[in-house]
Amino acid sequence: MQRLSGLDASFLYLETPSQVMNVAAIMQVDPTTVPGGYTFDGLRNEMARRVTAIPSLRRKLSDSLANVDHPVWVEDDDFRIERHVHRIAIPSPGRVEEMAQMCGHLVGQVLDRKKPLWDLWVLEGMEDGKIALMLRMHHAGVDGATVADILGELATAAPEPPELDPAKMAESAGSASRRDMAVGGAANYFLQRPIAALKLIPKTVPLPIDWFRRVRSGAGMPAPFLAPRTRFNAPLSPRRSLALTQLPLDDVKRVKNHFGVKMNDVVLALAGGALREYLDENGELPDEPLVGMVPVSVRGADEHDLVESGTNKVSGMFTRLPSQIADPVERLRVAGEYANQSKDHHQEIDANILRSYAEFAPGNTMGAVMRLYADRRMSGLHPPVFSTIVSNVAGPASKMYMLGALVEAVYPLAPIFHGLGLNITVFSSAGKLNVGLLTCSDIAPDIWAMARAFHDQLDLLLGEVEAGAVLAHDATVED
């Protein structure tokens, strides 16, 4: 058995019918490249073959009343691919909009915890003979980097089926008896946790003091619960709405290179500008900058005895988004300035401290509190923790073939929370910057307007690049 880390388990405890902890990747593919031709049965059979070499897709949860610690992963000895791969038709005319509407319904459905926490939906009937594949996974089992790794196992550089790794095929999560689960859980809970707490407290005491000092000087990350309120900082219903779009990666890089900034600075500037445009059109733009939470991978960080091993090896960095700035070039400059301030502050904090504290997450109590918090709509009674989540994940630069089908787009989606009802995730691959927006349709039914705003913001920056090139050319001619 493999016990979940506190952070992994927290995504189980936080889940309610209106706060679903699913991570998803929506792939638009061309099935004409599938060797032998596309059929649903053939694709499902190939998926079954690939899963034999992806251990994380074969494990399921196990728990008992006698276990006082987090649940464990065990091998699903009764794994059946028919329980995980499903087919559905997209309504006519089969555009991306209709596909996204169907996926919005699916992403809001809770995964069955009696089986491995993932499924693959094959959406047929798109225009021009294309199909879409939606891979849903629970956040307890994956983070952004893990999703990219799994996609790397399923999406290959050529359409032909790859050879499978015998070592991964032999890898197993094992089984768990109730006695072993209870004894190991008790040892963790009553012996290791108190010792870890004593070691963690001295590391934590200076953090709020230093953070308060930085906030007063304006030289660090914005503190939580100080973000301006927008329509996205509201209680959620189970209904979900998503919007998907693609930006040419070469155009984004032109902006990056022309202004001498980082790719992440451009993403944050685009997000801040799109939020500004969306909120301004609705007469809801705050005067002060919005605050984004940017997930940061800590896979390279040193492990220590306060942290259990786990899948979610992430921390979170708070950064201001330059939504209050009208000029696109100034917005880009300030986005980089905000990001650099936050990075400098974040790098001084132990990368594993969030995961360390998550080890103490009380399962039943945390779940009960979360359900009460959701039912009483308490997220509207306190200041917003932050405004939105903005995540930037780098994918492969070359073409990919998902189960033999040529991948034309990969749209990422990540969870939203009560009071934090907007997630912006971008995934770069094969010359495109794929943008996935997820929200609750009861608080923002017109989220496609924000997707279009990303194009508007990139066009504004490209216009400035072109204007700068013309000025440079004129200056050269005069010389």
Q: Which two tokens stand for residue 170?
A: 């032999």
Cα separations in angstroms, 184 against 179, 328, 338, 464: 8, 55, 45, 61
Residues with catalytic roles: 139
Residue 214 CA to residue 198 CA, distance in Å, equals: 27
The Cα–Cα gap between 351 and 313 comes to 9
Kindly state the tokens that stand for 14: 């936080």
Report the chain's C-alpha Rg in angstroms: 23
Tokens, residue 110: 């809770």
Q: Tokens 């990303």 map to which residue?
A: 454
Contact 241, 100 (CB under 8 A): no
Q: What is the dihedral of CA 377, 381, 382, 388, to 10 degrees?
A: 50
Pairing of the two strands 155-156 and 422-429: unpaired
Cis amide linkage into residue 93, ω under 30° from 0:
yes
Can you read off the two tokens belonging to residue 243? 């919007």
| Integer CA distances (angstroms), 117 to 45, 60, 64, 67, in order | 19, 7, 18, 21
What the block records as the tokens of 354 is 């969030």
